Structure 1
């Protein structure tokens, strides 16, 4: 819809292999995003389709696709904010049309009603700040539509008077709506925004006020190598795709560019949102490759046709054929113009209109070759070399995607592997721990651990946990963090009140496992201290440094987490790690 079927085919082929999407859709690691990204792209496609056609049918499908996205993933707020921004951009740049109205108005009305039917969303579809932008742009769109409607009915003088009235009423309505929205969100400590949304708008918000969000590794900012890992060579094709979208700029291409800009910003805040950037990168890369192949193949065809026409071997019969072909082409060109002259010849004398038509026809004939001359034609060597380079680039991308799918995103989280000079090492400790809980504890026993292992304990050991990966209850997680940060007696009292029989901790000090609970411990302190003020992070730091050796603080050395991880650690058999 933006740049033709060729660009769409290229983008689909690239998106099918992009590592960022494979990380969420690989077999054995399905997540909500596996279907949510399809719903996201399908909603954007139907929106652009409605922009191009102005069809109410596609607008209805767009609202249904948005409902599918709401049911799939909480990231639906990205849609309901990006589309209003694009609509507002079109209005500001003077690109308002009835197609824009049809593409947006049904989405807001029908989409909001359908979203409210989802139990998890409910009245949040109209009560939270994430949705207010769509309502405000909805009002602005109707004011602009009313202005255009009145302009078509009134004279310019009356239109100025009506314009003043409409602007006055429109501003009054907008201020009233804004005042109501401010009153609704003023009572909320987060001003109607969710913690994750505020973390996107202010990257430092989570670390200051909601450490549970900042503690998740997926919510950390990405590193530069992660971009190359997840989108690979697409990062170098995106600028070419952006340039192509501006030649010429349309409503569809401007939406693609806006999608990319917002996705790049959000992916820079949270590494998890690289998943949202990947489709935009694939779309623009597909546009760039399609345009490049179009220019290169056209150049090859032109150079080949020119080579065959100028070939010295085309003597004798071939020269006769070429000369006859040239005469046929010239005669056909003459025959194409002569019938117009013969048809208009008897009418030229009595009518002046036919003379104007003849001039228009004569002027329209040489316009076509001028347009053809404007097409970019490269030399044969450069065109062939460019095609080969693009093929090699595509092959490198395919190899990288296959490697990422096989090595980086297909490893199970229960069984860990590592490579050293001795070869491949398999760590089966997680599975063994869950098997021990399954075989040596009662079915009704409760297990306390950090929330990272909640789902695994429930699925592998079939035991009840206090907290799990669904981190919606911050108080429960803070309670477990407080128990882990407290001395043994205080921790026992907390766990006893929760009816906990076993405590699970992960320690990797013997093998150098970097993601054990000791490395996560400061997050437990921060989250626990956010609810229970007597837990203070400076009490666990020595001169601002996190120490777990003899230089550690007394609070650190006496807490439950330290005691469990380093229990009889000095009596272990020595291991040569050199």
Structure 2
């Protein structure tokens, strides 16, 4: 009987089956990321994606030249922002290219939908790249398993759901693809593959600041192989090609510029490039000199080069030629540095150390298979496995000190898990000794007994895989598929209730304020204000100017009169605050207030003191037992103004679980708009009194105070 099916050989059938499995994995990867679109609508999520979406629209509308030279006077008022030179343009250019290609094919897809579905599309490419990486380091079985794992792993889904239009949406694919090409270049000694790896690295540099991980891990791989005595011409060709082309191409990104030549985070790559040239020269000289003379030359050369290199590094660093580690990178090594010296970095939730439950939440079954994969890599320890081990160790460390970096850990965990499971399946799929190899017949009982361990392992493992898939689907559905701009809750009858206060407030600003109105808010909402309200903001999520952010924090922490003076000085027209006491929304400005105070205190220590905002018992209180500084602060007044009138004097703040302050009065700011659920409150900065009086005096002269605007 012929072994062919559909006229295909066994090898072709295997290839077709792998292709079909990869297609299914890609479909599942895309489909599992569409919960948010199905439940809500096609909408951009979170905060940073709104800036990416706004800049992508500008690129599509005005073209690349204007985009590259765009000065945005509506951001960081009155400073403005040079947009083209202060961003990673990779994701914008990618979306614009897809948009233009679709329109060239007469497919009039809106740019918003391109942006919304970009990350799910790239997740399919990530699964394919992970398959190729797993196949490169082990075999096709490990590759398929790794692809299946990364297709649904919550650690990657968290930044690649539909609507999550952030840099990581394409960067994780580029990370895996670059590593695959690098390992292939090392194995084959191929300058072509190394050049492709450099091109992929350039794309990564244009897309995400996490490219620094690549340009440090690859040199570390080379250095480790040299230290193990594994120098080869293949390694020399691969790294020399990759470093030269990768560095030159990365400097074409304006935001990066010449940083690869003078910043500390790039010096390891430069030093390794120099080291491998020395090692290559030593191997050449070794063939030209007697052994004893060669050892003398090598010892002298190593001593001289090490001394000169160390002195040069010390002198150049001391003179400022080589820039020190920036705060965000330095905080990876000294985890307490940012909280003490740069609170603006520590205030970002994704920069916090990772709680242990997060690893099990985002990786689940894979976290147990991860060490097994490392063990099997140690057992073989090829050049590729050395890379996997280094990647595992450093990615695990960085993921432990910064919750955001679970993203870089997830791919290697999936690959290691794929290797572990592939080895397990290989062990139990080996053919048992058959009767044909022996003159003695094998009884049916012995055959069944031989199959029992295999059946037990397969059944147990399938059960664990089912539970892993269920966990991933549940986490994706409940935790990672809710856009922060649109919230949802359940009514008593079980129906879904949409909470759309953010877009309600931004739409009100867009329709009821002057086009040149200046909006003051905490920096978290700057990108959303610019993207949805289309109004000028003082600070946003770029956080490049700590002094400007501290000034906003100072306004929020100051008493009403001082805050009014500062707001008038900055030409502020409206102040926007987020308030969650009615709904129980814990991500409001009162809960962020301590970070505002700490950042302001770092720049204005004589004006703002954190201890003044704790009551006599040392507690962070918002009620009548709060400290004077807290009760008199602008943020406290803007949040709780008239709230007790609506909720009643005996009501509680549902977030802080504290009784409401009994009386809050405002003189210099007037309530302009409060959303349906009181989540967003907007206040207008009053003009100066016509008679030159303070607003407090004018209010007393006018008689009893009246309740202001009511949203009900």
After TM superposition, the score normalised by the length of structure 2 is: 0.68
CA shift, 1:288, in A, is 0.7
Number of the residue aligned with 1:564: 638
What is the alpha-carbon distance in structure 2 between the residues aligned to residue 303 and residue 31 of structure 1?
56
Over 3 Å counting, the alpha-carbon distance change for 1:302 and 1:69 in structure 2 is farther
What is the alpha-carbon distance in structure 1 between the residues aligned to residue 433 and residue 563 of structure 2?
80
What is the alpha-carbon distance in structure 1 between the residues aligned to residue 391 and residue 308 of structure 2?
30
Number of the residue aligned with 2:573: 501
Number of the residue aligned with 1:228: 360
Q: Report if the CA contact (8 A) 1:147-1:166 is conserved.
A: no
CA shift, 1:475, in A, is 2.1
Over 3 Å counting, the alpha-carbon distance change for 1:234 and 1:552 in structure 2 is same
Task: Determine helix, strand or coil for the equivalent of 2:484.
Answer: coil
1:298 aligns with 2:433: no
Number of the residue aligned with 1:337: none
Number of the residue aligned with 1:446: 518
Number of the residue aligned with 2:225: 90
Number of the residue aligned with 1:469: 541
Q: Which moved more, 1:155-164 or 1:245-254?
A: 155-164
Number of the residue aligned with 1:19: 154
Q: Number of paired residues?
A: 510
What is the alpha-carbon distance in structure 2 between the residues aligned to residue 305 and residue 196 of structure 1?
66
Alignment of 1:153-552 (within 5 A): 153-185=288-320, 192-299=324-431, 310=441, 379-419=450-490, 423=494, 424-533=496-605, 534-542=607-615, 543-552=617-626
Q: Report if the CA contact (8 A) 1:143-1:170 is conserved.
A: no
1:124 counterpart (259, 276, 280) = 259
CA shift, 1:405, in A, is 2.4
Deviations 1:346-387 (A, max 9, x none): xxxxxxxxxxxxxxxxxxxxxxxxxxxxxxxx9311111111
Q: Report if the CA contact (8 A) 1:505-1:565 is conserved.
A: yes
Number of the residue aligned with 2:86: none
CA shift, 1:232, in A, is 1.4
Give the gaps of 5 or more residues in structure 2.
Answer: 1-135, 658-712
Q: Which moved more, 1:177-186 or 1:254-263?
A: 177-186
Q: Report if the CA contact (8 A) 1:540-1:546 is conserved.
A: yes
Number of the residue aligned with 1:330: none
Deviations 1:498-521 (A, max 9, x none): 221110101111232211100000
Over 3 Å counting, the alpha-carbon distance change for 1:514 and 1:106 in structure 2 is same
What is the alpha-carbon distance in structure 2 between the residues aligned to residue 239 and residue 473 of structure 1?
42
Number of the residue aligned with 1:335: none
Task: Determine helix, strand or coil for the equivalent of 2:582.
Answer: coil
CA shift, 1:220, in A, is 0.9
What is the alpha-carbon distance in structure 1 between the residues aligned to residue 299 and residue 166 of structure 2?
53
Q: Report if the CA contact (8 A) 1:303-1:379 is conserved.
A: no
Over 3 Å counting, the alpha-carbon distance change for 1:173 and 1:149 in structure 2 is farther
Q: Which moved more, 1:542-551 or 1:125-134?
A: 542-551
Task: Point out the structure with max Rg over C-alpha.
Answer: 1
Over 3 Å counting, the alpha-carbon distance change for 1:425 and 1:305 in structure 2 is farther
CA shift, 1:561, in A, is 0.3
CA shift, 1:170, in A, is 2.0
Deviations 1:154-200 (A, max 9, x none): 111221232233224322432343234323448x9xx6211110111
Give the gaps of 5 or more residues in structure 1.
Answer: 314-377
What is the alpha-carbon distance in structure 2 between the residues aligned to residue 175 and residue 511 of structure 1?
59
Over 3 Å counting, the alpha-carbon distance change for 1:309 and 1:180 in structure 2 is farther
What is the alpha-carbon distance in structure 1 between the residues aligned to residue 642 and residue 306 of structure 2?
72
CA shift, 1:427, in A, is 2.4
CA shift, 1:425, in A, is 4.3
Task: Determine helix, strand or coil for the equivalent of 1:379.
Answer: helix
2:279 counterpart (141, 144, 147) = 144
CA shift, 1:258, in A, is 0.8
Q: Report if the CA contact (8 A) 2:520-2:575 is conserved.
A: yes
Over 3 Å counting, the alpha-carbon distance change for 1:280 and 1:274 in structure 2 is same
Over 3 Å counting, the alpha-carbon distance change for 1:312 and 1:81 in structure 2 is closer
1:110 aligns with 2:245: yes
What is the alpha-carbon distance in structure 1 between the residues aligned to residue 634 and residue 437 of structure 2?
82
Over 3 Å counting, the alpha-carbon distance change for 1:380 and 1:440 in structure 2 is same
Over 3 Å counting, the alpha-carbon distance change for 1:312 and 1:161 in structure 2 is closer
User: 1 or 2, which has the higher helix percentage?
Assistant: 1
Number of the residue aligned with 1:327: none
Q: Report if the CA contact (8 A) 1:446-1:502 is conserved.
A: yes
Task: Determine helix, strand or coil for the equivalent of 1:417.
Answer: strand
CA shift, 1:72, in A, is 0.7
CA shift, 1:80, in A, is 1.0
Deviations 1:312-331 (A, max 9, x none): 69xxxxxxxxxxxxxxxxxx
CA shift, 1:293, in A, is 1.3
What is the alpha-carbon distance in structure 2 between the residues aligned to residue 6 and residue 180 of structure 1?
51
Task: Determine helix, strand or coil for the equivalent of 2:498.
Answer: strand
After TM superposition, the score normalised by the length of structure 1 is: 0.84
Q: Report if the CA contact (8 A) 1:507-1:565 is conserved.
A: yes
Q: Report if the CA contact (8 A) 1:26-1:410 is conserved.
A: yes
What is the alpha-carbon distance in structure 1 between the residues aligned to residue 477 and residue 325 of structure 2?
39
Over 3 Å counting, the alpha-carbon distance change for 1:178 and 1:443 in structure 2 is same
What is the alpha-carbon distance in structure 1 between the residues aligned to residue 489 and residue 343 of structure 2?
31
Over 3 Å counting, the alpha-carbon distance change for 1:166 and 1:569 in structure 2 is same
Q: Which moved more, 1:527-536 or 1:226-235?
A: 527-536
What is the alpha-carbon distance in structure 2 between the residues aligned to residue 391 and residue 153 of structure 1?
60
Q: Report if the CA contact (8 A) 1:46-1:62 is conserved.
A: yes
Over 3 Å counting, the alpha-carbon distance change for 1:140 and 1:481 in structure 2 is same
Q: Report if the CA contact (8 A) 2:435-2:442 is conserved.
A: no
What is the alpha-carbon distance in structure 1 between the residues aligned to residue 436 and residue 594 of structure 2?
71
What is the alpha-carbon distance in structure 2 between the residues aligned to residue 23 and residue 526 of structure 1?
29
Number of the residue aligned with 1:573: 647
Q: Report if the CA contact (8 A) 2:597-2:609 is conserved.
A: yes
CA shift, 1:311, in A, is 5.3
Deviations 1:385-441 (A, max 9, x none): 111222222222222222222222111111212347664543222222222222221
What is the alpha-carbon distance in structure 1 between the residues aligned to residue 406 and residue 439 of structure 2?
50
What is the alpha-carbon distance in structure 2 between the residues aligned to residue 123 and residue 289 of structure 1?
44
CA shift, 1:104, in A, is 1.7
Q: Report if the CA contact (8 A) 1:39-1:68 is conserved.
A: yes
